[in-house]
Amino acid sequence: MSFDLKPHRLSGTIQHYAWGAKGEQALIARLLKITPENDKPYAELWIGAHPKAPSHLIYQGKSYSLDTILSKYPRLVLGEEVVDKFGITLPFLLKILSAQEPLSIQVHPDKQQARLLNQYDPQNYPDSNHKPEIALVLDELECLAGFRPANELRMLLSDYPAIASVLSGHEFIDISDDRQFVRELWQHSLTTFQNQPLIIDQTLKDLARQQNNDSAIDDANVQFFLQMQRQGHAPDFGLLLILFLQYWHLYKSDALFIPAGVLHAYIRGNIVECMTNSDNVIRAGLTTKFKDYQALATVTNPEAQPSIVLPRIHNGKKTYQIAAEEFRLAEIELNEKKYLTINRGEVRIILVLEGEIRISWAGGEELYTSGESILLPAALDKVKISTKHSARFCMVEVEGN
Protein backbone atom coordinates (compact mmCIF):
# COMPACT_ATOMS: atom_id res chain seq x y z
CA MET A 1 0.00 0.00 0.00
CA SER A 2 1.27 3.45 -0.93
CA PHE A 3 2.06 6.06 1.69
CA ASP A 4 -0.79 8.53 2.27
CA LEU A 5 0.10 11.71 0.43
CA LYS A 6 -1.21 14.21 2.96
CA PRO A 7 0.24 16.36 5.73
CA HIS A 8 1.21 14.22 8.71
CA ARG A 9 1.39 15.40 12.31
CA LEU A 10 4.73 14.65 13.92
CA SER A 11 5.32 13.91 17.58
CA GLY A 12 8.74 15.21 18.59
CA THR A 13 10.98 14.06 21.43
CA ILE A 14 11.64 16.23 24.48
CA GLN A 15 15.19 16.24 25.86
CA HIS A 16 15.36 16.97 29.59
CA TYR A 17 18.95 18.23 29.78
CA ALA A 18 19.87 19.87 33.10
CA TRP A 19 20.24 23.38 31.64
CA GLY A 20 16.68 23.45 30.29
CA ALA A 21 13.90 25.81 31.39
CA LYS A 22 11.66 24.69 34.24
CA GLY A 23 8.20 25.46 35.57
CA GLU A 24 6.62 28.66 34.27
CA GLN A 25 9.72 29.32 32.14
CA ALA A 26 9.37 26.03 30.25
CA LEU A 27 8.47 27.26 26.77
CA ILE A 28 8.41 23.75 25.32
CA ALA A 29 5.81 22.61 27.84
CA ARG A 30 3.66 25.67 27.07
CA LEU A 31 3.86 25.11 23.33
CA LEU A 32 2.96 21.43 23.66
CA LYS A 33 0.19 22.32 26.14
CA ILE A 34 1.47 20.00 28.84
CA THR A 35 1.89 20.68 32.55
CA PRO A 36 5.60 20.78 33.40
CA GLU A 37 6.68 18.43 36.15
CA ASN A 38 8.18 20.03 39.24
CA ASP A 39 11.89 20.82 38.84
CA LYS A 40 12.08 18.92 35.54
CA PRO A 41 13.98 20.80 32.81
CA TYR A 42 12.48 21.04 29.31
CA ALA A 43 15.58 21.77 27.28
CA GLU A 44 15.02 20.72 23.67
CA LEU A 45 12.28 19.42 21.40
CA TRP A 46 13.70 17.38 18.51
CA ILE A 47 11.72 17.21 15.26
CA GLY A 48 13.24 15.00 12.60
CA ALA A 49 14.65 11.53 11.97
CA HIS A 50 17.87 11.48 13.95
CA PRO A 51 18.39 7.92 15.31
CA LYS A 52 18.94 9.28 18.83
CA ALA A 53 15.40 10.69 19.02
CA PRO A 54 13.30 10.32 15.85
CA SER A 55 9.87 11.90 15.62
CA HIS A 56 6.82 9.67 15.26
CA LEU A 57 3.68 9.82 13.16
CA ILE A 58 0.46 7.84 12.99
CA TYR A 59 0.12 5.76 9.82
CA GLN A 60 -2.66 3.26 9.24
CA GLY A 61 -3.62 3.50 12.88
CA LYS A 62 -0.16 2.72 14.25
CA SER A 63 2.72 4.87 15.48
CA TYR A 64 5.88 4.71 13.37
CA SER A 65 9.16 6.52 13.78
CA LEU A 66 9.93 8.92 10.95
CA ASP A 67 13.13 7.09 10.05
CA THR A 68 11.08 3.89 9.63
CA ILE A 69 8.67 5.68 7.27
CA LEU A 70 11.62 7.06 5.29
CA SER A 71 13.06 3.57 4.87
CA LYS A 72 9.73 2.29 3.53
CA TYR A 73 8.77 5.23 1.30
CA PRO A 74 11.93 7.25 0.66
CA ARG A 75 11.14 8.82 -2.69
CA LEU A 76 7.53 9.64 -1.85
CA VAL A 77 8.48 11.38 1.39
CA LEU A 78 11.91 12.83 0.64
CA GLY A 79 11.70 13.34 -3.12
CA GLU A 80 13.90 12.07 -5.92
CA GLU A 81 16.56 14.78 -5.67
CA VAL A 82 16.99 14.49 -1.89
CA VAL A 83 17.37 10.70 -2.05
CA ASP A 84 19.83 10.92 -4.94
CA LYS A 85 21.91 13.56 -3.15
CA PHE A 86 21.71 12.61 0.53
CA GLY A 87 20.46 9.02 0.56
CA ILE A 88 17.51 7.66 2.54
CA THR A 89 17.66 10.17 5.34
CA LEU A 90 16.13 13.49 6.28
CA PRO A 91 19.15 15.77 5.83
CA PHE A 92 18.14 18.27 8.53
CA LEU A 93 17.06 18.34 12.17
CA LEU A 94 14.73 20.96 13.63
CA LYS A 95 14.70 21.83 17.34
CA ILE A 96 13.24 24.16 19.87
CA LEU A 97 15.92 24.98 22.43
CA SER A 98 14.95 26.58 25.74
CA ALA A 99 17.90 27.40 28.00
CA GLN A 100 17.56 28.61 31.58
CA GLU A 101 21.22 27.91 32.38
CA PRO A 102 24.34 27.91 30.17
CA LEU A 103 25.10 24.98 27.88
CA SER A 104 28.60 23.62 27.41
CA ILE A 105 31.02 25.74 25.43
CA GLN A 106 31.32 23.56 22.35
CA VAL A 107 32.42 23.30 18.76
CA HIS A 108 31.26 21.25 15.77
CA PRO A 109 33.49 19.48 13.22
CA ASP A 110 33.39 19.80 9.45
CA LYS A 111 32.52 16.75 7.33
CA GLN A 112 36.02 15.30 7.12
CA GLN A 113 36.71 15.87 10.82
CA ALA A 114 33.38 14.28 11.73
CA ARG A 115 34.21 11.12 9.78
CA LEU A 116 37.63 10.84 11.42
CA LEU A 117 36.22 11.40 14.92
CA ASN A 118 33.59 8.75 14.32
CA GLN A 119 36.25 6.25 13.25
CA TYR A 120 38.55 7.18 16.13
CA ASP A 121 35.97 7.25 18.95
CA PRO A 122 32.50 6.03 17.88
CA GLN A 123 31.30 5.93 21.48
CA ASN A 124 31.64 9.68 22.00
CA TYR A 125 31.19 10.60 18.33
CA PRO A 126 28.47 8.28 16.99
CA ASP A 127 27.69 10.75 14.18
CA SER A 128 29.88 10.93 11.11
CA ASN A 129 28.08 14.06 9.90
CA HIS A 130 28.98 17.70 10.27
CA LYS A 131 26.69 20.10 12.14
CA PRO A 132 26.40 23.66 10.83
CA GLU A 133 23.48 25.31 12.61
CA ILE A 134 21.33 28.40 12.64
CA ALA A 135 19.61 29.81 15.73
CA LEU A 136 16.39 31.77 15.10
CA VAL A 137 15.47 33.75 18.22
CA LEU A 138 11.92 33.39 19.53
CA ASP A 139 12.14 36.12 22.21
CA GLU A 140 15.68 36.78 23.45
CA LEU A 141 18.98 34.93 23.36
CA GLU A 142 22.25 35.48 25.18
CA CYS A 143 25.18 33.43 23.94
CA LEU A 144 28.91 33.23 23.44
CA ALA A 145 30.13 32.60 19.90
CA GLY A 146 33.47 33.13 18.17
CA PHE A 147 36.58 34.82 19.50
CA ARG A 148 36.45 38.50 20.35
CA PRO A 149 38.26 40.93 18.03
CA ALA A 150 42.02 41.07 18.55
CA ASN A 151 41.94 44.64 19.87
CA GLU A 152 39.46 43.63 22.59
CA LEU A 153 41.57 40.63 23.55
CA ARG A 154 44.70 42.76 23.76
CA MET A 155 42.87 45.19 26.02
CA LEU A 156 41.66 42.30 28.18
CA LEU A 157 45.19 41.00 28.69
CA SER A 158 46.40 44.52 29.40
CA ASP A 159 43.65 45.12 31.98
CA TYR A 160 44.17 41.72 33.60
CA PRO A 161 47.93 40.99 33.44
CA ALA A 162 47.55 37.90 35.64
CA ILE A 163 45.90 36.14 32.70
CA ALA A 164 48.63 37.18 30.28
CA SER A 165 51.26 36.11 32.80
CA VAL A 166 49.89 32.61 33.28
CA LEU A 167 49.67 32.20 29.50
CA SER A 168 53.44 32.45 29.07
CA GLY A 169 53.84 36.18 29.48
CA HIS A 170 52.88 39.46 27.82
CA GLU A 171 54.24 38.64 24.36
CA PHE A 172 50.69 38.17 23.03
CA ILE A 173 50.07 41.89 23.22
CA ASP A 174 53.12 42.56 21.03
CA ILE A 175 52.01 40.41 18.08
CA SER A 176 50.89 42.92 15.46
CA ASP A 177 49.13 40.52 13.10
CA ASP A 178 45.58 40.09 14.43
CA ARG A 179 45.03 36.60 13.07
CA GLN A 180 48.32 35.30 14.44
CA PHE A 181 47.61 36.98 17.79
CA VAL A 182 44.26 35.16 18.19
CA ARG A 183 45.74 31.83 17.05
CA GLU A 184 48.62 32.11 19.54
CA LEU A 185 46.27 33.10 22.36
CA TRP A 186 44.05 30.08 21.68
CA GLN A 187 46.91 27.60 21.38
CA HIS A 188 48.71 28.81 24.51
CA SER A 189 45.46 28.88 26.49
CA LEU A 190 44.60 25.28 25.67
CA THR A 191 48.17 24.03 26.21
CA THR A 192 48.53 25.83 29.53
CA PHE A 193 45.21 24.50 30.82
CA GLN A 194 46.07 20.93 29.83
CA ASN A 195 49.50 21.11 31.47
CA GLN A 196 48.74 23.38 34.44
CA PRO A 197 44.99 23.42 35.15
CA LEU A 198 45.41 24.35 38.81
CA ILE A 199 47.46 27.43 37.93
CA ILE A 200 44.73 28.58 35.54
CA ASP A 201 42.16 27.87 38.25
CA GLN A 202 44.02 29.90 40.86
CA THR A 203 44.51 32.80 38.46
CA LEU A 204 40.79 32.89 37.69
CA LYS A 205 39.94 32.78 41.40
CA ASP A 206 42.32 35.68 42.04
CA LEU A 207 40.75 37.63 39.18
CA ALA A 208 37.28 36.98 40.59
CA ARG A 209 38.31 38.19 44.04
CA GLN A 210 39.74 41.38 42.54
CA GLN A 211 36.56 42.11 40.59
CA ASN A 212 33.80 40.98 42.93
CA ASN A 213 33.70 44.32 44.76
CA ASP A 214 33.70 46.39 41.56
CA SER A 215 30.13 47.42 40.78
CA ALA A 216 31.19 49.43 37.72
CA ILE A 217 32.18 46.51 35.47
CA ASP A 218 30.64 47.10 32.03
CA ASP A 219 32.25 44.17 30.21
CA ALA A 220 29.53 41.54 29.68
CA ASN A 221 32.13 38.77 29.46
CA VAL A 222 33.66 39.65 32.83
CA GLN A 223 30.20 39.93 34.40
CA PHE A 224 29.27 36.48 33.12
CA PHE A 225 32.64 35.08 34.17
CA LEU A 226 32.07 36.33 37.73
CA GLN A 227 28.57 34.86 37.78
CA MET A 228 29.81 31.44 36.72
CA GLN A 229 32.84 31.52 39.01
CA ARG A 230 30.58 32.18 42.01
CA GLN A 231 28.65 29.04 41.11
CA GLY A 232 31.72 26.90 41.67
CA HIS A 233 32.54 25.78 38.12
CA ALA A 234 36.31 25.98 38.53
CA PRO A 235 38.67 24.44 37.62
CA ASP A 236 37.18 24.69 34.16
CA PHE A 237 38.66 25.72 30.83
CA GLY A 238 35.25 27.15 29.98
CA LEU A 239 35.68 29.89 32.58
CA LEU A 240 38.77 31.17 30.80
CA LEU A 241 37.05 30.94 27.40
CA ILE A 242 34.19 33.12 28.66
CA LEU A 243 36.66 36.00 28.71
CA PHE A 244 37.85 35.32 25.14
CA LEU A 245 34.59 34.74 23.25
CA GLN A 246 32.15 37.29 21.83
CA TYR A 247 29.06 37.91 23.95
CA TRP A 248 25.86 38.20 21.89
CA HIS A 249 22.46 39.50 22.99
CA LEU A 250 19.89 38.85 20.26
CA TYR A 251 16.17 39.48 19.96
CA LYS A 252 13.05 38.09 18.29
CA SER A 253 13.58 37.02 14.65
CA ASP A 254 17.34 37.61 14.79
CA ALA A 255 19.23 34.63 13.35
CA LEU A 256 22.80 33.54 14.08
CA PHE A 257 24.68 31.08 11.86
CA ILE A 258 27.39 28.99 13.53
CA PRO A 259 29.64 27.11 11.08
CA ALA A 260 32.15 24.38 11.85
CA GLY A 261 35.10 25.31 14.04
CA VAL A 262 33.38 28.11 16.00
CA LEU A 263 33.43 27.84 19.79
CA HIS A 264 30.01 28.78 21.18
CA ALA A 265 27.59 28.34 24.06
CA TYR A 266 23.96 29.34 24.45
CA ILE A 267 23.55 31.00 27.85
CA ARG A 268 19.82 31.64 28.17
CA GLY A 269 16.84 32.17 25.92
CA ASN A 270 14.49 30.44 23.49
CA ILE A 271 15.32 29.64 19.89
CA VAL A 272 14.32 27.55 16.93
CA GLU A 273 17.50 25.74 15.96
CA CYS A 274 18.03 24.08 12.60
CA MET A 275 21.04 22.00 11.65
CA THR A 276 22.14 19.04 9.60
CA ASN A 277 20.92 15.67 10.86
CA SER A 278 23.67 15.41 13.46
CA ASP A 279 24.39 15.55 17.18
CA ASN A 280 28.14 15.94 16.80
CA VAL A 281 29.52 17.97 19.72
CA ILE A 282 33.03 18.56 21.14
CA ARG A 283 32.83 20.25 24.53
CA ALA A 284 35.30 22.66 26.12
CA GLY A 285 33.73 23.48 29.48
CA LEU A 286 31.01 25.01 31.68
CA THR A 287 29.30 21.65 32.24
CA THR A 288 30.40 18.28 33.61
CA LYS A 289 29.90 16.49 30.28
CA PHE A 290 32.71 14.66 28.45
CA LYS A 291 35.51 16.91 27.17
CA ASP A 292 38.08 15.96 24.55
CA TYR A 293 40.92 18.48 24.43
CA GLN A 294 42.75 16.72 21.60
CA ALA A 295 39.66 16.94 19.39
CA LEU A 296 39.08 20.49 20.60
CA ALA A 297 42.57 21.51 19.46
CA THR A 298 42.05 19.89 16.05
CA VAL A 299 38.55 21.16 15.30
CA THR A 300 38.52 24.68 16.74
CA ASN A 301 39.31 27.39 14.22
CA PRO A 302 39.91 30.61 16.19
CA GLU A 303 39.60 32.65 13.00
CA ALA A 304 36.17 31.30 12.10
CA GLN A 305 33.25 33.50 13.11
CA PRO A 306 29.49 33.24 13.46
CA SER A 307 27.38 35.64 11.44
CA ILE A 308 24.06 37.38 11.70
CA VAL A 309 21.84 36.14 8.88
CA LEU A 310 19.62 38.77 7.30
CA PRO A 311 16.51 37.21 5.78
CA ARG A 312 15.09 37.62 2.32
CA ILE A 313 11.57 38.93 2.94
CA HIS A 314 8.68 38.31 0.56
CA ASN A 315 4.97 38.50 1.37
CA GLY A 316 5.41 37.75 5.07
CA LYS A 317 8.01 35.00 4.53
CA LYS A 318 11.51 35.51 5.94
CA THR A 319 13.99 33.08 4.40
CA TYR A 320 17.32 32.58 6.15
CA GLN A 321 19.89 31.13 3.76
CA ILE A 322 23.27 29.93 4.97
CA ALA A 323 26.21 27.94 3.62
CA ALA A 324 24.62 24.53 4.16
CA GLU A 325 23.06 22.56 1.32
CA GLU A 326 21.07 20.32 3.67
CA PHE A 327 18.49 22.86 4.81
CA ARG A 328 16.91 26.28 4.46
CA LEU A 329 14.91 27.83 7.29
CA ALA A 330 12.02 30.24 6.88
CA GLU A 331 9.81 32.11 9.35
CA ILE A 332 6.34 32.96 8.06
CA GLU A 333 3.69 35.28 9.45
CA LEU A 334 0.18 35.13 8.01
CA ASN A 335 -3.07 37.00 8.58
CA GLU A 336 -6.56 36.51 7.20
CA LYS A 337 -5.56 38.23 3.94
CA LYS A 338 -2.32 36.33 3.35
CA TYR A 339 -1.71 32.71 2.46
CA LEU A 340 1.19 30.56 1.32
CA THR A 341 1.14 28.11 -1.58
CA ILE A 342 3.64 25.25 -1.67
CA ASN A 343 4.28 23.04 -4.69
CA ARG A 344 5.36 19.41 -4.68
CA GLY A 345 8.94 18.36 -5.21
CA GLU A 346 10.74 18.29 -1.85
CA VAL A 347 10.15 17.32 1.75
CA ARG A 348 9.26 20.06 4.24
CA ILE A 349 8.62 20.25 7.97
CA ILE A 350 6.48 22.96 9.53
CA LEU A 351 6.42 24.00 13.20
CA VAL A 352 3.59 26.24 14.35
CA LEU A 353 4.81 28.87 16.80
CA GLU A 354 1.78 31.11 17.32
CA GLY A 355 -1.87 30.95 16.38
CA GLU A 356 -3.56 28.38 14.15
CA ILE A 357 -2.97 27.46 10.51
CA ARG A 358 -5.13 25.63 7.99
CA ILE A 359 -3.43 23.35 5.47
CA SER A 360 -5.51 22.52 2.41
CA TRP A 361 -4.67 19.97 -0.30
CA ALA A 362 -6.54 18.05 -2.99
CA GLY A 363 -7.66 15.40 -0.50
CA GLY A 364 -8.89 17.67 2.28
CA GLU A 365 -7.84 20.21 4.88
CA GLU A 366 -6.82 20.23 8.54
CA LEU A 367 -6.17 22.73 11.31
CA TYR A 368 -2.93 22.87 13.27
CA THR A 369 -2.28 24.96 16.36
CA SER A 370 0.80 26.29 18.15
CA GLY A 371 3.28 23.61 19.15
CA GLU A 372 2.29 21.18 16.40
CA SER A 373 4.76 20.04 13.77
CA ILE A 374 3.78 18.75 10.34
CA LEU A 375 5.53 16.67 7.69
CA LEU A 376 4.75 17.63 4.07
CA PRO A 377 5.85 14.70 1.85
CA ALA A 378 7.67 15.63 -1.33
CA ALA A 379 5.11 13.87 -3.55
CA LEU A 380 2.16 15.76 -2.06
CA ASP A 381 0.63 18.02 -4.69
CA LYS A 382 0.11 21.73 -4.17
CA VAL A 383 -0.94 22.77 -0.67
CA LYS A 384 -2.28 26.06 0.64
CA ILE A 385 -1.52 27.36 4.13
CA SER A 386 -3.83 30.03 5.54
CA THR A 387 -5.22 31.35 8.82
CA LYS A 388 -8.47 32.97 9.96
CA HIS A 389 -6.73 35.45 12.25
CA SER A 390 -2.93 35.55 12.53
CA ALA A 391 -0.29 32.88 12.78
CA ARG A 392 3.46 32.47 12.91
CA PHE A 393 5.32 29.31 11.93
CA CYS A 394 8.68 28.16 10.70
CA MET A 395 9.33 25.85 7.77
CA VAL A 396 12.42 23.86 6.84
CA GLU A 397 13.17 22.63 3.34
CA VAL A 398 16.28 21.33 1.60
CA GLU A 399 18.53 24.09 0.32
CA GLY A 400 20.38 21.96 -2.22
CA ASN A 401 17.36 21.18 -4.39
Q: Is 88 exposed, middle or buried (0-12, 13-18, 19+ CB in 10 A)?
A: middle
For the chain, helix (H) and strand (E) counts, in that order, are 12, 22
Centroid of chain to Cα 37: 25
Catalytic residue, candidates 30, 179, 183, 283: 283
Neighbours of 22 (CB within 10 A): 19
List CB contacts of 303: < 8 A, sequence separation 6 or more. Answer: 147, 179, 182, 183
| 283 touches 294 (CB < 8 A) | no
Report helix, strand or coil for 34. Answer: coil
Tell me whether residue 148 is one of the annotated catalytic residues. no
Phi/psi-derived region of residue 310, left when phi > 0, alpha when psi is between -120 and 50, beta in every other case: beta
Four-CA torsion 175, 179, 183, 186, nearest 10 degrees: 90
Q: Hey, which residues are catalytic here?
A: 283
